[in-house]
Chains A and B, each alone.
Chain A
Amino acid sequence: MNGAISPQKTVQIALLVTCLSDLFRPQIARAAVELIEKFGYQVDVPRQTCCGQPAYNAGEKVKARILAENMISLFEPYRYVVAPSGSCAATIKEHYPGLFDEGSSEHEQCMQLVEKTHELSGFLVDVAKADLEKNPLFGDRSLRITYHDSCSGLRELGIRSQPRKLLKDRLGIDISEMPNSEVCCGFGGMFCVKYPEISTRMVDNKVDGIEGVEAEVLLGGDLGCLMNIAGRLRRIGSTTRVYHYAEFLADSDPGPAIGYRD
């Protein structure tokens, strides 16, 4: 296996699987485990549920707090918590603290989780200082690839350069940037089913951007957005395939794209 050799075998990392990956796309979580292990970290997946993001964004603060408490105690023993999703990581890092009274012991415990939680690419680049060697398997692939910056990761966690650096270092991929890469795709959790007409217009704008750069592949870091974009692309008969960036970075073949069987 290529990749850095690290003395960090003893460092325990918990994977925050994320509900969507757990249910709809296990291979994202698998790829995340593979990438983290590549750097000599030990990965564990404690039995988990949801970070509470849907409740929190719906204004259900009480429910969100109960789910947050579960997460805080679940991840207590680990050195790091890594999620292959900007929005799940941001829920913890940006919004958990507001659920507890400042100065309380719950808040203190919460801050410990906040400190050690990372989005996958942010963890690999900023914490593990990953220096991925080029993967020969993909060396010759000359796909035209564009990238969608999911909003939470981008604006709440500053995830923008990290996945691009990993893709460049490992696969030599230069992203064909679309002008609206930083504009919301219209997913927005409940928003896409509460206002499907508006959501569809927004994803159509995103599709315009993707088609504008004639991308064969769209990558991103949040499965909700990717399912939304992939679903629309598929519906209108586009041939662009959609993957999570982790699936591209891992050694194993990414396999069928989101919403495809082959």
Chain B
Amino acid sequence: MPNSWLILTRARQSAIGIDMQVKSSSFRTTATKALLDEDLRAAMDRAEGGFVDTRKQAVDELVNFQEYREFARSTKNHVLAHLDYYLTRFESNVMASGGQVHWASNGEEVNRIVLDICRRPGIDKITKGKSMVSEEFALNAGLEAAGLEVVETDLGEYIIQLAEETPSHIIAPAVHKTKQAVTDLFEEHHREAGYPRVVERLDIVNQARQVLRDHFCTADVGITGGNFLIADTGSIALITNEGNGDLTANLPDIHIVVTSIEKVIPDMQALGGFLRLLGRSATGQIMSVYTTLFNGPRRIDDLDGPGEFHVVLVDNGRSGILGSQFQDILRCIKCGACMNHCPVYTSIGGHAYGWVYPGPMGSVLTPLMVGQKNAPDLPYACTLNGRCKTVCPVMIPLPDLLRKHRNNLVEMGQTRSLQKWGMQLWFQVARNPSLYNMMVGLYALKLNMLARLTSAFRRGSFKRIPLLGAWTSTRDFPVPQTTTFQAQWKRQRGHD
């Protein structure tokens, strides 16, 4: 059958992709390429403006936003300090409502658990709500390789799936795609089924609605993520705007929640606080359209709902972050505010970061999850401007964590040798005031002489300086005066 052949081919491609999916080591090349992408630039400009302004409005409306942030930070810290307690409490409450709980220490185990659930007669098609956790271990590829059809149902994720790409933003996965690109993609993939080419935004959404309706209503299994796990009740809170998560969860006979262990919160009271932060921080919404709490499979007299309810609790490296100097990152509620406010992210887009999580939280998390060796650039891909830290709803000190990564790279001797020796040389000068003043004075003199040899002196700035090409290729560099301030001061007022 050509159809299944196609699926298998794609699955095989994705399966190869499992080994290659960490592309963070080519950060600089990819980032530089991304800078030349005009479509991406337009998309990012649009997104940044929208996210930043709407967030600000929504945040300003909540008079004690800061109090909620502090509450969220303390609550997450509290849960992390008692994580075993809250997880087991959550587990027993899920089971009490008839659900099954599976634990997975890594991605391979998740794939095996989900496959074990799905491997039975009559199960062919899986619909899937957006789940960043499942991207960590290419769950789709694993399922497709076993001959199952997997359909992403979040519009952005669906677009990305058709394009055979990965998400470039954790809440807006297709933020880098233009309308035109979606038009072409839909034509390519929907034409055979008799759908027309659609150009207008509304028509595009309508066509996706129709196509995905078929999938929703014929799927055998629905896989969703979960935003919060409520220990007290064993509920999973899932938050979407499209409603795809609920159709995915409620129509098929089996609902599988793939979620990670750090998402547990104590109780419903706490949920209110987190919901007030999440919508505002993510999209500037006071409340997302659909917030759903799932508790187990359909009840005996229910008219709808899945017959089976599974929760897969994924560790995949998180327990290794717990208790480490990076524990703060486990507070992350995946709102995306840090990337929306990151001038580096909005310049280069998400793909340059090379793995599932981009932007500031990604630059902290990726090296921890895939190994620092595989993402050597990410800790440096940041100006430490701190804007992310000021908008983070759970107050993660992102720049400080990136500095810790840098510090670890230094201590492991994993910095580039030019950087290492340059720093060593500078340090030996800077620790000795006499030497420092002499060297800086000489440098001023040298630059001044160099300026006099060129037009730079008359101009007041250099257009080119040997060894400083990284600066002067796009920027002028000022010509210093012949004497430093400290030398002038010594002459005029004298010290020592």
Binding site for B on A (CB under 8 A): 17, 19, 21-26, 29-30, 44-50, 52, 54-61, 63, 66-67, 70, 151-152, 155-156, 182-184, 186-203, 205, 227-228, 230-232, 234-235, 256, 258-262
Which residues from B are CB-within-8-Å of A57?
384, 403, 406
- A30 and B485 contact, CB distance less than 8 A: yes
Give the contacting residue for B495; candidates A45, A49, A228; CB below 8 A: A45
Q: B residues within 8 A CB of A29?
A: 485, 489
Known A26-B485, A230-B478; judge A184-B390 contact (CB<8 A): no
Partner of A22, one of B343, B408, B463, B484: B484
Beta-carbon contact of A183 and B343 below 8 Å: yes
Q: Please state if A198 and B35 are interface contacts (CB–CB under 8 Å).
A: yes
Name B404-432 residues within 8 Å CB distance of A. Answer: 404-410, 415, 419, 423, 426-427, 429-432
Tell me the nearest residue of chain B to A46, going by C-beta. Answer: B495
B389 at interface, CB cutoff 8 A: yes
- In the complex the two chains form, is B484's CB within 8 Å of A61's CB? no
**Bound state CA distance, A203 and B475, in angstroms?**
10
Interface pair A200/B433, CB less than 8 Å apart? no
Contacts of A23 in B (CB 8 A): 440, 443-444, 480, 484
The reply to whether B460 and A261 form a contact with Cβ atoms under 8 Å apart is yes
Q: Which residues of A contact B436 (CB under 8 A)?
A: 49-50
Q: Given A23-B444, A200-B474, is A188 in contact with B383 using a C-beta cutoff of 8 Å?
A: yes
Contact between chains at A188 and B384 (CB < 8 Å): yes
Q: For A61, list chain B residues within 8 Å (CB).
A: 407, 410
Within 8 A of A (CB), among B461-484: 461, 463, 468, 470-471, 473-481, 483-484
Chain B residues near A194 (CB-CB < 8 A) = 380, 470
* Contact indicator per residue, chain B 329-343, by CB within 8 Å of chain A (1) or not (0): 000000000000001
13 pairs from A and B in contact (CB 8 Å cutoff): A23-B444, A26-B483, A26-B488, A45-B493, A45-B495, A48-B433, A49-B433, A59-B407, A190-B380, A193-B468, A193-B470, A193-B471, A231-B461
Q: How far is the CB of B192 from chain A (nearest CB, A)?
A: 41
Give the 8 A-B residue pairs with the shortest CB-CB distance, closest first: A188-B383, A59-B406, A231-B475, A261-B460, A26-B485, A184-B385, A151-B385, A259-B461
Say yes or no: is B105 at the interface (Cβ < 8 Å to chain A).
Answer: no
**Which residue, A25, A195, A196, A261, has most C-beta atoms of chain B within 10 A?**
A195
Contacts of A193 in B (CB 8 A): 468, 470-471
Is A258 a contact of B486 with CB atoms below 8 Å?
A: no
Structural contact, A48 and B486, CB atoms closer than 8 A: yes
User: Which residues of chain B come closer than 8 Å to A17, judged between CB atoms?
Assistant: 485-486
Contact between A231 and B383, CB atoms less than 8 A apart: no
Please determine whether B483 and A54 come into contact, CB atoms closer than 8 angstroms: no
Which of A26, A44, A156 makes the CB contact (< 8 A) with B484?
Answer: A26
Bound CA–CA A191/B28 (angstroms): 12
Known: A45-B495, A197-B31. A227 touches B427 (CB 8 A): no
- Which B430-467 residues have C-beta < 8 A from chain A? 430-434, 436-437, 440, 443-444, 457-461, 463
Contact A151 B387 (CB under 8 A): yes
Does B408 contact A59, Cβ atoms closer than 8 Å?
yes
Cα–Cα, bound, A50→B495 (Å): 18
Indicate if the CB atoms of B343 and A205 lie closer than 8 Å: yes
**Is B461 a contact partner of A202 (Cβ separation < 8 A)?**
no
Q: What is the CB-to-nearest-CB distance from B476 to chain A, in angstroms, rounded to a whole number?
A: 4
Q: Does B382 sit within 8 A of A, measured CB to CB?
A: yes
Q: A198-B348, A205-B343 are in contact. Are A63 and B427 (CB under 8 A)?
A: yes
- Name which residue of chain A comes closest to B492, CB basis: A30
A194 to B32, CA, bound (A): 12
How far is the CB of A136 from the nearest CB of chain B, in Å? 27
B427 touches A60 (CB 8 A): yes
B344 within 8 A of A: yes
Of the listed residues B430, B471, B495, the one surrounded by the most CB atoms of chain A closer than 10 A to its CB is B430
B275 close to A (CB within 8 Å): no
Check if B437 sits within 8 Å of A47, measured CB to CB.
yes
Q: Is the CB of A54 within 8 A of B426?
A: yes
List, in ascending order, chain B residues with CB within 8 A of A228's CB: 475
List chain A residues, Cβ under 8 A from B347: 198, 201-202, 205
Name A24's closest neighbour in chain B (CB-CB): B480
Q: How far is the CB of B56 from chain A (nearest CB, A)?
A: 11
A196 to B383, CA, bound (A): 12
Chain A: CB-nearest residue to B469 = A196
**Given contact pairs A58-B423, A184-B387, A261-B459, a sample of 17 additional A-B residue pairs in the complex whose CB atoms are under 8 Å apart:** A17-B485, A23-B440, A23-B444, A23-B480, A45-B485, A49-B432, A55-B427, A57-B384, A58-B419, A59-B408, A60-B427, A152-B386, A156-B386, A187-B383, A195-B31, A198-B348, A259-B460
A25 vs B379: C-alpha distance in the bound complex, in angstroms?
31
Alpha-carbon gap, A235 to B476, bound state (A): 6
On chain A, the residues within 8 Å of B415 by CB distance are 58-59
A260 surroundings in chain B (CB, below 8 A): 459-461
* Inter-subunit contact A195/B28 (CB<8 Å): yes
Which residues from chain B contact A230 at a C-beta distance below 8 Å? Answer: 476, 478
Q: A56–B404 Cα gap in the complex (Å)?
A: 10
